[in-house]
Amino acid sequence: MSKYVKELVTRDIKRELDGVEDAVLVSYVGMDAITTNELRGELDAKNIRMLVVKNSLARRATEGSSLANAFEGTQGQVAVCWGATDFVSLVKELVRLDKDSSKYAKFTAAGGVMDGEKLDADRLKEVSKWPNREEQISMLSGQILGPGSQLSAALLGPGKKLNSQIKKIAEGDE
């Protein structure tokens, strides 16, 4: 590949990854075209983008960005995945696909970068166990609404008790 072509490809990779701060590197070497196309369709349905890159060109394109750490020490051809609703959802989906060896046997989640910190495959598995954005919002809303419901029960409890006693007295007079 000539130097001019390398510069063009590097520029295109840089443009494609512009604004991406967190990503996961995956390897799918050895998968046939049909399986790769199915994988891309499955990822696209979950709003996950996948870009196949050559490591040396990706290193040049991400130089000075938060993604630069992801390509340290990688070899061969990899794919960069980003998107989904949040990073944890992205990692959960890619780790799930990695475990599903029956359908995508050659697919492996190799590493990534989160907030500028390089992640290895083991760390990705740990991150996949974290709650995603929707789960965090539901936990937070439960914590916010919990004290209010306890206060409501505390205020309404004596009134209900008094009401039931008055009702028993009224029924006893009949």
Are 149 and 93 within one domain?
no
26-41 pLDDT, tens digit per residue, is 988 888 888 888 888 9
Are 95 and 18 within one domain?
yes
DSSP code of residue 48: E
139, two tokens: 């936990």
Are 17 and 58 within one domain?
yes
Q: Are strands 108-114 and 77-83 parallel, antiparallel or unpaired?
A: unpaired
Are 54 and 122 within one domain?
yes
47-93 pLDDT, tens digit per residue, is 999 998 888 888 888 888 888 888 887 777 888 999 888 888 888 98
* pTM of structure: 0.72
As a three-state string, the secondary structure of 103-126 is CCCCCEEEEEEECCEEEEHHHHHH
Answer whether residue 135 is part of any domain.
no
Are 61 and 123 within one domain?
yes
Are 64 and 102 within one domain?
yes
Are 57 and 86 within one domain?
yes
Instruction: Please report the pLDDT score of residue 154 as a whole number.
Output: 78
Mean pLDDT of 128-144: 82
Are 152 and 120 within one domain?
no
Per cent of the chain over pLDDT 70 is 98
Are 67 and 42 within one domain?
yes
Mean pLDDT of 4-28: 87
The whole domain housing 160 covers 142-174
Answer whether residue 160 is part of any domain.
yes
Are 41 and 17 within one domain?
yes
Sign of CA dihedral 26, 95, 87, 48: positive
